[in-house]
Each structure stands twice: as C-alpha cells, then as structure tokens.
Amino acid sequence: MQQNNSQSHTQNKIQNVVIVGGGTAGWMTASLLAKTLGKALNITLVESDKIGIVGVGEATIPPIVNFNSAIGIDEKAFIKETQGTIKLGIEFNNWHQEGDSYMHAFGNIGKKFPFCDFHHFWLRAQLDKNASNQSIDSTNIDSTNISSKSFWDFSLNYQAAKQHKFAPIRNIPNTNLPGLAHAYHFDAGLYAKFLSKHAIGMGVKRIEGTITQVNQHNESGFIESVLLENDRCIKGDLFIDCSGLAALLIEKTLSTGYEDYSHWLPCDRAIAVPCEKVEPIEPYTRSTAHKVGWQWRIPLQHRTGNGLVYSSKHMSDDEAKELLLNNIDGKPLAEPRVIPFKTGRRRKQWHKNVIAIGLSSGFFEPLESTNIHLIQTAAIRLMKFFPHNGIQQEEVDEFNRQSKVELEGIRDFIILHYKLNNRGDSEFWRACQRMEIPESLLNKIELFKKTGKVFCKPDDLFTEIAWQQVMIGQGNIPDDHHPLVDTLTKEQLTDLMASLKTLINGTVNKLPSHDEFLQSLK
C-alpha cells in the first residue's frame, strides 16, 4: 500500500515549481524556466534578504554567452548593469614552477586539420627548430628540451588578451579561421539583481522570507511545502534547491549524501577581498600559485576581485589573509572574508522531487571558472528532463548519471593542474605530485605524454584544446607526434607556421583596446 501511495504521489502533474534561494543559481534557473515553460508553470522563488550570497564566482567561460542570449538578455545591457568585462582566457602563473606562465586561452589554436590536431604540427616544428640549431636529426631530440611558450603564438585569444585588445569578431578577416571566443567577468551580486528583474518581468513570483520548516509527505518523503518565519506556507510539486552551501533541501532535509574529492583537491578554504581597480583592465583572469594554494584576480569595471584558495592543514587563516593582502594591486575595499568549503558533489543531484543547482549540488574551487557554468548546465539539463505528468525514476536516474559524468570530467581537469606541478618549495605541492589520481586522468596524462593524443567525450566541458594547453603549459610535452604531420616537408611546415602567425598578429593589431570596447557600450 505504501508503494502505491508513493507511486501516485510521483504522478501528479508538475505545475508549481518552487526555487529555494536566489543568487546566481536561483535567478539563472528561474530565468530559463520562465523563458521556456513560463506559460505552463507557476514559478515561485523564495529568498531571504538576511542571507548573503557567496558571490566569489565572478568569472565565466564562453557557453554563458549563448545562455544569456537564450534567455533574452542583451549583451550591452548585461555588461553595463553588472560592471562586466571581457574574459578571453585564464593565465596560470607559477603552476609548473615558479616564474613559469601559460594561458588556458579560449577558442581555437592554429588551424584545424582532419584526423589530428594543430599541436602535432607545432610539436614537429619545434623538433625541426631544435634539430637545425643542433645540426642533428630531429628524431633524436628529447621532447623535454622543447620550450612550450611559442604554442600560444598561434592563439588569437592569447595574443589579444596579452595586448588588452577585444572586439566581437566571428572569423579572422578573409579566412574561415574562427575569431575570438569570449566569456565575462562580472559582479555576481549585480548579475543576480539583473536576472531577478529579468525573471520577474517574465512572470516569476519572488517571495522574501526565511524558511523555518520543510514539510514532507509522510510516506514518499517528497517535499510538499516550505514554511516561512511569518508562518506563510509555500506549496510546490517540484523544488529547486539553490540554497548554496547550506543545501537546505537536498542534504539537510533529504540526507542525500556527499562524495568528497578533498583527497585529490586538498584546498578547503577561500578568502576573498575586492580592491580598487587597476587600468588598463585586462581581458583575462589570473591564477597565481603560491607556496600553499593559489590566488585569483578578476578585473571588473569598478573594482578588482581577489581571493586566495588554500589548505587549512598547511596555512592558517591569518597567514592566508596576510599573503592575500600583500599580493593585491590596489587598496582593499572591504574586510577579507573567509569561506570554508569541501570539494565534491552531492551523490544525487536530483532526489525525490528536489533538484539541487549551484553550490547546494557540490563545490569546485574556482580554478577554471566552473561553478557558474555548472549552474547553467544543470538548469539546461532540468529543461531537457523536465517532468511532465509526474516524476519518473528512470528520468531521475539518467539525470543523475549525466550530472556525475559531467562533474567527474571537470574534477579530473582541475586535478590535472595540481598533479602536473613541478614545484619543490613546499610539502603542499610535493604532496600533490605524489598523490594517486583517478585512473581516467592518469590514462589521459600518459597517453598524451607518449603519443601527443588526447580524446574527450562529446559532452565534456573541456575540449581537447583545453587539455593540450594545460598539459603543454605544465611541462607534459609529448614524446611523439601524429604521422600525418610528416607528410609535410620542412619548408611547407615552416610556411604554414609563418602564415598563421602573420594572420593572427595582423588581426590583433587592428583590434580596439578592451577599454575602448567597454567605453563603446556606455
């Protein structure tokens, strides 16, 4: 009898959606639901003015451009309202060893070829160059002697970023080579406010209040309503938990469980502080490794966002605060704020009639700007799997399977940065070098080292080009290249490289500055 009652409960038509929590997660989800299913649903968002948002996620990756467009946001208005700037990539300083620098630049590198990627051609060109210098055959050149720096000579995004240039160009003029791929830096609090106006304008109902009680169905355990401190009861058929690290519904109520990644990603605290802006405004994020952990720098129009991600086992909060304040560009605009976290993921992102989106579903340190992106992909996945006449377990299981695969791919990519460090200045970094890593990641690293090849699944967030940049940037230079490269003569390869560099440099030279682009939006 209990099974039948539970089954009937899952077969109610989904009409009333309650989003618990605002912030970036709540309002991104509300906006997408309202834009796509607003006429068929009653969407209510409950948030408390007393509860602040974490708001450290001020950097994004290129898919947000399409997301904003899909929910009907004008880019010019968005950048203006959020004090936004353009982001062309992430520069990693001191990650391989102190003094080293490379960039995970967005967009393409070089030219796409059938069957093998551009970096194989670059690798062969480097071998030829070394062979010419040493007057020996290139097959005898040790790959460890190759300098990786010239790889980014063939990245339009890198060259534009380092010269503080930007304009929205779809292609390199007079070619079919892709133009600039961009994302944004923005003030997360202002983005949430901007989205809230947008979503409310599309029919989302906002209720201010603090939740004091969560009511569940006696037999199924499904959540039926939430009670506010003024005794107002908000009922719903489907609940979206956007309550951040509190995880009010998915964990505190449903006890879904958490898969801890901290044995691979040892940082468990962040300390954040804004400072006065510095000009010119760089169109890229900076990630600088320190003796313990790393520091982010995110330039906005009105200020610069800064933070230090570190391990409390290796550094105290006071030491972290001192290190951060000694390494920012301008005068601090607030007291540094400590944010404890545990890297990992909720065992089920969808459990019963609750879907966790944002920090309630798990946490990754902001090394590759993935947290806002994961809000976006979870909201899109919700749309693809949106239950119609009740919640079907098969649908829930597939939703959770896809979430797990996505998060494990991102997990591996972030671990990669730590594992491939070559620093010897602290036990923190030495422990990262020694640690056992997931087999999926180990296979990728070894395959790339031996063959130069890297393969990703179609739905992976980080593409082959992203993996190539981090591995080459952190010293994992392949021992071999694809045989297709050897069908070119040395002269043909030299001409190819020279023409690509000429095209990229010529394009960047004609671009306006990033500051000029921002001024043109006002």
Residues noted as catalytic: 87
Element (H, E) at 185: strand 183-185
| Per-residue H/E/C for 291-318 | CCCEEEEEECCCCEEEEEEECCCCCCHH
Structure-token match 């699944």, residue found: 457
CB distance 118 to 493 below 8 Å: no
* C-alpha span between 444 and 72 (Å, rounded): 39
- Picking from 102, 22, 107, 147, the residue whose alpha carbon sits closest to that of residue 507 is 107
Cα of first residue to Cα of last residue in the chain, in angstroms, is 64
Element (H, E) at 286: strand 285-289
C-alpha distances out from residue 469 to 96, 102, 106, 200, 256, Å: 12, 8, 10, 41, 36
* C-alpha span between 260 and 413 (Å, rounded): 16
What does DSSP assign to residue 513?
B
Task: Write out the E strands in 380-436.
Answer: none
Which residue type occupies 414? I
Q: Which two tokens stand for residue 268?
A: 């468990």
Cβ burial of 391 (10 Å; 0-12, 13-18, 19+) is: buried
- Picking from 417, 59, 407, the residue whose alpha carbon sits closest to that of residue 261 is 407
Q: Which two tokens stand for residue 9?
A: 């409960």
Task: Write out the E strands in 81-167.
Answer: 85-87, 89-93, 101-105
Phi then psi for 312, rounded to 5 degrees? Answer: -70, -15
- Picking from 504, 492, 503, the residue whose alpha carbon sits closest to that of residue 125 is 492
Beta bridge partners of 272: 307, 337
Q: Is the dihedral of CA 444, 413, 375, 282 positive or negative?
A: negative
3 state DSSP class of 362: strand
Please, what's the b/e burial string for 272-289 (b: 16 or more CB within 10 A of its CB; e: otherwise)? bbbbebeeebbbbbbbbb
